[in-house]
Chains A and B, each alone.
Chain A
């Protein structure tokens, strides 16, 4: 206690070298956005964004990404629980397989989905023959599956970390007091886990919103069903309509930024216990 302030005093000033590297890092990440914004035709932005095709792509994006996030939560939560609470042989392998889509090029995911769920794929063939399930190409269901494939790991990894940080004594105390398994889960585990679940769901939603490669490869490009904003942006860019591509990019960046800022303040910041990061005050 006594020598703490003295040893802290010289460290008050962050090293210049670190600051400079940090500034370079921010520049590398932010420069493309600045480049995009300075090319944005702000005066015609409203007109471009108001076009029927843009609104349609926005609608598909919102529907597909929300459904993908919902699917990620519905399937990812039990998986996160298994990974966090059960120890079994091959758990490390399962976790690696689950996280693989985070580092895989999404187009690889799209091709792989074909060989699994395509009409002639491993499972798809059976679904096709037995249940008459037709193709997923050009269907919103296909786009949701592609988006969930790449976004679910973001939920699983966040939820699993949350489960691991949970104090197990709270759960055992509840069951000692006579609460059944489901009551403990419903009244203790899930409420305590809520911030992690919200953060994971939001992260996977943001990832699904930006999904491109797996979607166009597996679900194809169909206006109103699978043509999300990223697909519409790529198409406009290649069609020699950079203005439309820029306008839709600004829209997508805006939405994604809002999600991430919301994530930072509402769910992550209050949980951290850094002395200078009190809730409510925004770090700048």
Chain B
């Protein structure tokens, strides 16, 4: 069984797959992580996915519109935006307003990717209109640029901060009213696909997602 999941779900879904496989030894779960937009484009073009977990509803709706989903999408997790900097914070970034500095190398997600849509909304709320140096197609590509110290700041999800390990630090953003709700749907008719979706939504799945910093929708 092949699960297509948003890049931000990488660690959480690896754990989910391991636990699902140990409960269902006859099922082999293969995971494919990328930006939700790329996954949606691949599934719309006929990729052999069994389950799709997207980082926002808009991207999932493109797959639904193509008639590629077998079950209606259900929300299973919530994520918020985080501002990350290299651990030594070379750009002395203390908040969103610092991102307007043109000398700062800023990496964000492209507006077509869920994390980019969220970043845009949050920046708009804060009245900040920075000129990002690069618009990446996956949140983890943003994180990598910050982890390498090539970018002075990046806008990712709160759950990505842990994946950056000891190479990144997050700058507190205060209370966050904006969030992305993640929908999941079975793409194929296989029984295991719907079963895996139930597992994600069930208590075990939710516990694992919570342990990786996701909230319940």
Contact = CB atoms under 8 A, between A and B. Distances in A.
B89 to A, nearest CB: 14
Nearest to B41: A238
Given A220-B107, A221-B137, A240-B40, A235 B150 contact: no
Contacts of B136: 220-221
Given A120-B150, A238-B37, A238-B41, A138 B105 contact: yes
Interface in B136-154: 136-137, 145, 148-151
Given A135-B150, A137-B134, A222-B133, A240 B62 contact: yes
A234 interface: yes
A235 B103 CA distance: 26
Given A238-B137, A239-B112, A222 B132 contact: yes
Given A137-B105, A137-B107, A235 B137 contact: yes
B164 interface: no
Contacts of B107: 137, 220
Contact of B133 (A118, A120, A135): A135
A120 B107 CA distance: 16
A6 to B, nearest CB: 57
B114 to A, nearest CB: 12
A135 B105 contact: yes
A119 interface: yes
Given A114-B150, A238-B112, A220 B145 contact: yes
Interface string B71-94: 000000000000000000000000
A222 B62 contact: no
Interface residues of B, number: 24
A140 interface: no
Interface string B112-129: 110000000000000000
A35 to B, nearest CB: 12
A118 B135 CA distance: 18
Of B41, B62, B107, B113, most buried by chain A (CB within 10 Å of CB) is B41
Contacts of B145: 137, 220
Residue among B38, B62, B133 with most chain A CB within 10 A: B133
A204 interface: no
Contacts of B150: 114, 118-120, 135, 137
The interface residues of chain B, by DSSP majority, are classed as loop
A239 B41 CA distance: 8
Interface in A114-159: 114, 118-120, 134-135, 137-138
A202 interface: no
A115 to B, nearest CB: 8
Contacts of A239: 37, 110, 112
A120 B113 CA distance: 28
Contacts of A223: 135
A144 to B, nearest CB: 16
A249 interface: no
B183 interface: no
B7 to A, nearest CB: 12
Interface string B29-42: 00000010110110
Contacts of B35: 238
Contacts of A118: 148-150
Contacts of B38: 238
Interface of B: 35, 37-38, 40-41, 44, 62, 103, 105, 107, 110, 112-113, 132-137, 145, 148-151
28 contacts: A114-B150, A118-B148, A118-B149, A118-B150, A119-B149, A135-B105, A135-B133, A135-B150, A137-B133, A137-B134, A137-B145, A137-B150, A137-B151, A138-B132, A138-B133, A219-B134, A220-B145, A222-B132, A222-B135, A234-B137, A235-B110, A235-B112, A237-B41, A238-B40, A238-B112, A238-B113, A238-B137, A239-B112
Interface of A: 114, 118-120, 134-135, 137-138, 216, 219-223, 226, 234-235, 237-240, 242
Give 4 nearest A-B pairs by CB, closest first. A220-B134, A138-B133, A239-B112, A238-B37
Given A120-B149, A137-B151, A221-B110, 15 more contacts: A114-B148, A114-B150, A118-B149, A137-B145, A138-B105, A138-B133, A220-B133, A221-B137, A222-B135, A223-B135, A234-B137, A235-B137, A237-B41, A238-B37, A240-B62
